[in-house]
Amino acid sequence: MSVLERLYTQEHSMFRESIRRFFAKEVTPYVDQWERDGIVPRELWKTFGAQGFLCPWLPEDYGGAGGDFLYTLIAIEEASKTHCSGFAFPLHSDIIVPYLFNFASEEQKQRWLPGCVTGDVVTAIAMTEPGAGSDLSAIRTTAIRKNGSYVLNGQKTFISNGILCDLVLVAAKTDPGANPPYMGISLIAVEDGTPGFEKGRNLDKIGFHSQDTSEMAFVDCEVPCENLIGQEGQGFYYLMEELQQERLVCAIICQAAAEEALRLTIDFTRSREAFGRPISRFQYISFELAKMATEVEVGRAFLESLILDHMEGAKIVKKASMAKYWIAEMLNRVVAQCVQFHGGYGYMEEYPIARIFRDARVQTIYAGTSEVMLLIVSRLLGL
């Protein structure tokens, strides 16, 4: 038993069993249809929230259960078994809502957080632009004060939850002339339906077919100054502050996917026969499976050590960046070999390994590319 497993309580076990039953009944049977539709039903968010599965870490004052980070781990692990990448509740619960909890005013928290728990408020965060990805200081979207409001103008792209979101946190320049440029960035909450806020098309991606990822446009979009999150000009620092958990959540998603891909492949190679015996009995395949199992186990051990540190409040930006880089790359190595061992079946959409394969590719790109992770690690090494 690992150190992390010793922290599990009866409540954690009950949560795992409850969310596992929910996924088996409400998600897994419908994944293929959602993949064809290119989106999950909006009602799924409310059904999920009604069971207490959204933002379980939030204090009871805001509708949550006051749980620890282990609930996040459990939810992602169980979600991986559904082979559904479209239901992006970890993005909402564990990456975006923490911005509201940590930096929003009490009035803003009371206004939005209870809905984030029930699923009535689905969140997104808009940072990436057509000409600005990892370099946040290069964003061109502006938010200029005028008569008690911010007037937003600009474009965003690759916004996950972009179609279904009710509230989007927009990174915009409230001081376009700031030097250095990142000093002029603020976070502003924009509600769906605000005049001048336009959701674009649901983007057609290689993978994550049921995940609504869209473009957004802000054209003279007036937002009350009361929707500023935290202090003006501090948006870049808020984003940097939350990146540790964001990268850790991404690493958990990758780890869970690698474990599921390996499980599926071991089961397949045990049952698939060639030349009169299961292909798992061929030395090359058995050795390669052993190598993959070793990589997956190393990823799990590293990840669990970081989760423990994170839960204790340690600053682990360097290691979280290492984990996001290494585990995402490991997932892609493992799942590519898993597809190979499935043979022609691995190329068929009806086999889950095909979906895991195409969905894995983006993990080395979003939330900071592998190259950016290496840049961060190298700088933190003093290089």
Tokens representing residue 45 in the block: 């968010």
**In DSSP terms, which residues pair with 159 in a beta bridge?**
214
The mean-pLDDT minimum among 109-113, 129-133, 211-215 falls in 129-133
What is the C-alpha to C-alpha distance for residues 342 and 228, in angstroms, rounded to an integer? 51
Please compute the mean of the pLDDT values over residues 90-98 and round it to a whole number.
Answer: 97
Among 382, 324, 366, which Cα is nearest to 134's? 366
Compute the distance between CA of residue 186 and CA of residue 173 in angstroms, rounded to an integer.
6
Question: Mean pLDDT lowest for which of 2-11, 256-265, 317-326, 328-337?
Answer: 2-11
Instruction: Give which of 149, 148, 152 is closest to 176, Cα–Cα.
Output: 152
Residue 356: pLDDT above 90?
yes
Instruction: Name the residue with higher pLDDT: 178 or 152.
Output: 152
| Mean of the per-residue pLDDT values of the chain | 96
Q: Can you list the positions of beta strands (E) in the chain?
A: 123-126, 142-146, 149-160, 167-173, 185-191, 197-202, 213-224, 228-229, 273-274, 277-278
Q: Is 106 exposed, middle or buried (0-12, 13-18, 19+ CB in 10 A)?
A: exposed
Q: Check whether 39 has a pLDDT greater than 80.
A: yes
- State the pLDDT at residue 137: 79
Helix (H, G, I), strand (E, B) or coil at 120: coil
Catalytically active residues are 246
In whole angstroms, what is the distance from residue 263 CA to residue 133 CA? 35
86 vs 361: CA distance, rounded Å: 15
| pLDDT for res 2 | 78
Task: Return left, alpha or beta for 148; rule: phi > 0 is left, psi -120 to 50 is alpha, else beta.
Answer: left
- Rounded CA-CA distance 148/168 in Å is 20
Encoded tokens for 14: 């009950």
Percentage of residues of the chain with pLDDT beyond 90: 92
pLDDT at 10 over 90: yes
Cα–Cα distance, 199 to 190 (Å, whole number): 12
Note the pLDDT of residue 182. 85
Confidence of residue 1 (pLDDT cuts 50, 70, 90): low
The pLDDT of residue 174 = 96
**Is the domain defined by 5-90+101-121 classed in CATH 1.10.10.10?**
no
Distances (CA, A) of 347 to 139, 238, 253, 339: 39, 42, 22, 7
Asked if pLDDT for residue 171 goes beyond 90, the answer is yes
Residue 249 CA to residue 221 CA, distance in Å, equals 32
Tokens of 282: 């061929």
Residue 125's DSSP bridge partners are 169
Q: What is the pLDDT of residues 301-355, one digit of tens each?
A: 999 999 999 999 999 999 999 999 999 999 999 999 999 999 999 999 999 999 9
β-sheet bridge partners, residue 228: 188
CB 65 within 8 A of CB 15: no
Architecture of domain 124-232: Beta Barrel (2.40)
CATH of the domain spanning 237-380: 1.20.140.10
Tokens representing 150? 């911010």
Answer yes or no: is pLDDT of 74 > 70: yes
pLDDT at 133: 73
Residue 308 in tokens: 């423990």
Name beta bridge partners: 142. 153, 173
Domain ranges in the chain are 5-90+101-121, 124-232, 237-380
Confidence of residue 142 (pLDDT cuts 50, 70, 90): very high
pLDDT for residue 261: 98
